[in-house]
């Protein structure tokens, strides 16, 4: 049994956690997208589902001009991210741009609601969108709205099992819609463990978190937060330290440490500090497995050594943040790749939702850990690269490979070791 006195002073200090830790991250919520033509009642339906006036409702066509997302808790669904999209039949000057923005939402959608005006029925725009949703294999419900204005409406025979008739205005069948959504969301729920399958209840894990100029002030980044939370859920013990205090902490703890998880940027330091008998990995590698892309990302990392002068490397991040003077994506990663490959590639960058669909000029994609993206979006990006025969990896796996320690940090996942042999 460890007492506080056995730990270094730095490990005894308490760090206050911000209130944001109580919020379910966007990437962990069920993403529900509402699609359809103008004035089908998408915004009214969001208001009915949430019981709040979140979206502006108007009889004027095209009131919603950009996708609008709202994080909510909706029973019996739990935490969700609802996104209202512009009408897919928008023929205004900006219509095509708005339609493309709506299609971007499809990439991260876990469950799609195709909202149709019951009085009008399915039109060619609806049918085209339904075909696209089906092609992407996104679970969906066709919601025929405004049945209060179409009393004789009956569901089309070919959509009986996937459609529901409602009135957002009169709150008719909204509860049934929530239940149907909950059933679909349950089928898409993320089941992969983040870290607990590597440990037993009561096990001790050390998390190495460097706090430097690039660290956000007053808080931990999302992968660190989520890892701590899952360890607590599994009745494991997590000790958090900076690299400078790691040697003294490991000396005090001895063989009681079952796993060390580090920020990938300090792999080269931490690898030398952690004895070989203690398993070592990183937050980025944990998240690659959690999002279902560890195998393809390992294969992509092997391509780093094949880069030549002038090859284009896309460095992509799932969030948008203020780039600092020593930013990992804009500065550190390009420098590491140049040094490792001995080449002078051309680096291009994307962030947020702006992942390009066309990658024909790109030789390699290096992605961030993807903590702000849900598994659906990460899978879409990986599939986009794969279909165009462009290898893709992520920061943590690339850093481990370039430091020659990828076999060690993959040792907790032996089924993946064959990919680097």
Q: Write out pLDDT tens, residues 226-255.
A: 999 999 999 999 999 999 999 999 999 998
**Residues 356, 67: Cα–Cα separation, whole Å:** 18
**Residues 219, 221: Cα–Cα separation, whole Å:** 7
Q: How many CB atoms lie within 10 A of CB 414?
A: 8
Look up residue 145 and give its DSSP letter.
E
Torsion over CA of 332, 334, 340 and 341, rounded to 10 degrees? Answer: 180
Element (H, E) at 415: none
- Packing angle, helices 294-301 and 395-402, rounded to 10: 40
Element (H, E) at 418: none
**pLDDT for the residue numbered 143:** 97
Phi, psi dihedral angles at 57 (to 5 degrees): -115, 135
CA distances from 25 to 8, 36, 247 (A): 32, 27, 32
**Residues 392, 403: Cα–Cα separation, whole Å:** 18
**Residues 259, 273: Cα–Cα separation, whole Å:** 13
pTM: 0.77
DSSP SS3 for 131: helix
CATH classification (class only), 194-286: alpha beta
**pLDDT for the residue numbered 11:** 40
Mean pLDDT value across residues 107-128? 94
**pLDDT for the residue numbered 213:** 64
Q: Write out pLDDT tens, residues 48-64.
A: 998 877 655 545 454 55
Strand order, beta sheet including 362-367: 346-351, 312-317, 362-367, 392-394
Positive or negative: CA dihedral 270, 272, 276, 277: negative
Q: Where are the domains of the chain?
A: 26-188, 194-286, 295-420
Q: Look at residues 313, 386, 317 and name the one whose alpha carbon lies nearest to residue 355.
A: 317
**pLDDT for the residue numbered 148:** 94
**pLDDT for the residue numbered 342:** 96
Q: Note whether 73 and 49 are within 8 A (CB).
A: no
Structure-block tokens of residue 412: 């907790």
| pLDDT of 293 above 70 | yes
Mean pLDDT value across residues 33-59? 81
In this chain, the answer to whether the domains covering 26-188 and 295-420 adopt an identical fold is yes
For 341-380, b where at least 16 C-beta lie within 10 A, e where not — what string? bebebebeebbebebeeebeebbbbbbbbbbbbbbbbbbb
| pLDDT of 220 above 70 | yes
Q: Write out pLDDT tens, residues 126-167.
A: 999 999 999 989 999 999 999 999 989 999 999 999 999 999
Look up residue 113 and give its DSSP letter.
E
Q: What angle do CA 117, 119, 123 make, to 5 degrees?
A: 60
**pLDDT for the residue numbered 21:** 44
Q: How many residues are recorded in the chain?
A: 421
**Fold of the CATH domain 26-188:** Rossmann fold (3.40.50)
Confidence of residue 5 (pLDDT cuts 50, 70, 90): very low
**Fold of the CATH domain 295-420:** Rossmann fold (3.40.50)
**pLDDT for the residue numbered 55:** 55
Q: Write out pLDDT tens, residues 255-277.
A: 899 999 999 999 999 999 999 99
**Residues 337, 334: Cα–Cα separation, whole Å:** 5
| pLDDT of 94 above 80 | no
| pLDDT of 170 above 60 | yes
Least confident range of 85-94, 132-141, 194-203, 304-313: 85-94
Pairing verdict, β 257-262 and 78-84 = unpaired
Structure-block tokens of residue 31: 């993403």
- Considering the chain, what is the average pLDDT of its residues? 86
Pairing verdict, β 237-241 and 257-262 = unpaired
For 163-200, b where at least 16 C-beta lie within 10 A, e where not — what string? bbbbbbbeebbbeebbebbbebbeebebeeebbeebbe
**pLDDT for the residue numbered 6:** 45
Spatial CB neighbours of 131, under 8 Å, sequence gap ≥ 6: none
Q: Note whether 190 and 227 are within 8 A (CB).
A: no
């Amino acid at each position: 049994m460890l007492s506080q006195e056995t730990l270094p002073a730095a490990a005894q200090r308490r760090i206050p956690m911000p209130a944001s830790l109580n919020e379910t991250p966007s990437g962990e919520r069920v993403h529900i997208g509402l699609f359809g033509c103008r004035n089908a009642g998408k915004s009214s339906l969001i208001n009915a589902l949430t019981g709040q006036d979140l979206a502006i409702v108007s009889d004027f066509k095209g009131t919603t001009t950009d996708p609008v997302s709202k994080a909510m808790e909706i029973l019996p669904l739990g935490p969700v991210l609802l996104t209202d999209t512009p009408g897919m039949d928008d023929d205004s000057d900006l219509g095509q741009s708005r339609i493309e923005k709506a299609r971007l939402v499809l990439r991260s959608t876990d469950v799609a609601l195709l909202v149709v005006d019951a009085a009008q029925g399915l039109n060619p725009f609806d049918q085209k969108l339904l075909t696209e949703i089906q092609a992407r294999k996104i679970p969906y419900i066709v919601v025929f709205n405004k049945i209060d204005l179409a009393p004789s409406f009956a569901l089309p025979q070919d959509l009986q099992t996937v459609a529901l008739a409602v009135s957002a205005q009169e709150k008719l069948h909204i509860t049934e819609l929530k239940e149907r959504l909950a059933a679909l969301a349950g089928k898409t729920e993320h089941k992969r463990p983040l870290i607990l399958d590597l440990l037993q209840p009561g096990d001790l894990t050390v998390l190495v978190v460097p706090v430097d100029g690039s660290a956000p002030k007053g808080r931990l980044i999302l992968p660190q937060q989520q890892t701590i939370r899952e360890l607590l859920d599994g009745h494991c013990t997590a000790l958090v330290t900076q690299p400078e205090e790691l040697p003294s902490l490991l000396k005090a703890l001895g063989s009681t440490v079952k796993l060390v998880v580090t920020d990938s940027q300090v792999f080269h330091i931490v690898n030398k500090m952690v004895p070989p008998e203690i398993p070592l990995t990183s937050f980025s590698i944990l998240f690659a497995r959690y999002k279902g892309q560890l195998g393809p990302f390992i294969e992509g990392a092997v391509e780093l050594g094949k880069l030549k002068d002038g090859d284009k490397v896309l460095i992509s991040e799932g969030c948008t943040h203020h780039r600092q003077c020593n930013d990992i994506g804009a500065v550190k990663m390009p420098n590491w790749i140049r040094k490792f490959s001995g080449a002078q590639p051309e680096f291009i960058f994307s962030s947020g939702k702006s992942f390009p669909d066309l990658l024909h000029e790109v030789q390699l994609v290096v992605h961030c850990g993807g903590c702000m993206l849900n598994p659906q979006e990460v899978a879409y990006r990986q599939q986009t690269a794969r279909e165009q025969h462009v290898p893709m990896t992520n920061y943590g796996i690339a850093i481990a490979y370039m430091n020659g320690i990828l076999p060690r940090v993959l040792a907790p996942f032996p089924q993946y070791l064959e990919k680097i042999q």
